[in-house]
Amino acid sequence: MNFTKFGAGILVLCQLTSALAQVAGPASPRRDATVMAVEKAYRTVVNISTERIVARGYRDPFEDLIYEFYGYRRAPKAYTSYSLGSGVVVEPGGYIVTNQHVVERASKITVTTTDGTKHEGRYINGSAKNDLAVLKIEPKAPLQAIELAADGDLLLGETIIALGDPYGLENTISRGVLSAKNRKATWEGEVVFEDMLQTDAAINPGNSGGPLINLDGKLIGINTAIVAEAQGIGFAIPVKRVRQMLGELLSLEKGKGVWFGAQVTQREGRVEIASVQKGSPAEAASLRTGDVVQQVDGEPVRDVVDFQGRLLRKAAGQTVTVGFARGEKQFKARVQLAAVPKVSGAELAWQKLGLRLQPLTREIADELGVSVGQGVVVVDVDRNGPAWDVGARRGLVVARVGGMDVRGETELAAALAEVATGDSVTLTVYTSVRRGRYVIQNADNVRVKAR
């Protein structure tokens, strides 16, 4: 063996390794999987602050006497309630998911991104039952969006990370493990959810709506609740339910007023057409229930969130090309998008529910002891309609229809537009109960089957 050549070869190899190390930078054990996961997801997290005008329930003991004799009632004093929460960007155009309870009945929503930029947040859609809501901001440039993990990609004991803004401490990171799956969440003795994720990662007030991620930096859940009496017991909505709900909440019709006319769902990793509206652009393009969507404008579709996100970049009058499979055959459909047909929300409420609704005026709100922006008031009920059968009467205040807050005509129309005959609609209503000098507002959920 020629040791001289061998030694020279070793020297060249060492010099090459040294040069590569200088280019790549020194490896550090500090930059582990947790750090890399945070780096991947960090800029998708946002801070959400809300303001809500709340009417005080207190009345002067002589208030009723004055009203009886003079027909005058003073407006209840109101105050502004502030709250903080978190959210996560799910679409680069500025669509954000958070908890419904974070933005519920907010009169003003401010969204702050990780670079400190503040945006006015617009409530798009929400589901009180699933405690998820979608907001929209208008960024100057596309935002970084979180990547969703596969529905069943959850390992008990794996390291997970909670991101958010607890107690207003922006961009806070906590680490723990996935403690359990399919936990039942109860409220006042009633089972609310049966599929919650449990973690010992620190979750505090203000973390609500923020992402729970795995070491791949992918979303596995939305942080939602804690057990107040315990330490290290927090809960998150699983990614499977997040994905399902975003398929509905990221509606092109409700988000931008653009009509596609087909609902999609995800089954076994496939995006399928679940329903097609009569007379819609989707029907005109020959899309059918059961078609498996594979591409949008030539680009592969990962899931329902990806599908809805691509449609949200379109405007009325534009064409979207949908590649899909029907059985063993492959097809392409060119769908000409249109503006959503304008239908009166008041007319829909009467046709489908048998309710005549109108926005709360200051006088009516004062009389009922609620705030003006708290909902719409029932002024008439069809005695032969479905709402009458479940106890709806004049003077009832409807705050939410099918999971969407309603303050006027626009929200009412959006909430009822896709409700078909026979569908059950959940109405959240307020009733005022007078006890001495206080007016106590109770919120109840009423299920009405549309006619």
Note whether 275 and 320 are same-domain residues: yes
Q: What pLDDT shows up at residue 329?
A: 95
> Would you say residue 12 lies in a domain?
no
Q: What pLDDT shows up at residue 15?
A: 52
User: What count of residues does the chain have?
Assistant: 451
Residue 165 annotated among the catalytic residues of the structure: no
Note whether 170 and 216 are same-domain residues: yes
Q: Which residues pair with 313 in a beta bridge?
A: none
How many domains is the chain partitioned into structurally?
Answer: 4
Note whether 330 and 356 are same-domain residues: no
> Would you say residue 20 lies in a domain?
no
Closest listed residue to residue 328, CA positions, set 299, 288, 291:
291
User: Which of these three, 339, 359, 378, is where a domain ends?
Assistant: 339
Note whether 299 and 368 are same-domain residues: no
State the catalytic residue, choosing from 174, 179, 208, 371. Answer: 208
> Would you say residue 219 lies in a domain?
yes
Note whether 349 and 437 are same-domain residues: yes
* Dist CA 216 CA 40 (whole Å): 8
Note whether 238 and 276 are same-domain residues: no
Q: What pLDDT shows up at residue 221?
A: 97
Q: What pLDDT shows up at residue 66?
A: 47
State the catalytic residue, choosing from 101, 127, 174, 291. Answer: 101
> Would you say residue 150 lies in a domain?
no
Note whether 261 and 326 are same-domain residues: yes
State the catalytic residue, choosing from 86, 131, 280, 306. Answer: 131
> Would you say residue 104 lies in a domain?
yes
> Would you say residue 230 lies in a domain?
yes
Q: What pLDDT shows up at residue 432?
A: 61
Residue 306 annotated among the catalytic residues of the structure: no
> Would you say residue 116 lies in a domain?
yes
CATH number at residue 263: 2.30.42.10
> Would you say residue 9 lies in a domain?
no
Note whether 111 and 64 are same-domain residues: yes
Please list the ranges in the chain whose pLDDT falls under 70.
Answer: 1-27, 53-81, 186-192, 228, 369, 371-372, 403, 418, 431-443
Residue 208 annotated among the catalytic residues of the structure: yes
CATH number at residue 185: 2.40.10.10
Token duo for residue 364: 């009516």
User: Which of these three, 324, 339, 354, is where a domain ends?
Assistant: 339
Note whether 423 and 354 are same-domain residues: yes
Q: What pLDDT shows up at residue 73?
A: 52
Structure confidence by residue, pLDDT tens digits, 136-191: 999 999 999 999 999 989 999 999 999 998 887 888 999 999 999 999 876 656 66
Domain membership of residue 49 as a residue range: 41-136
Q: What pLDDT shows up at residue 144?
A: 96
Note whether 218 and 257 are same-domain residues: no
User: Which of these three, 339, 373, 400, is where a domain ends?
Assistant: 339
Note whether 49 and 120 are same-domain residues: yes
Note whether 359 and 440 are same-domain residues: yes
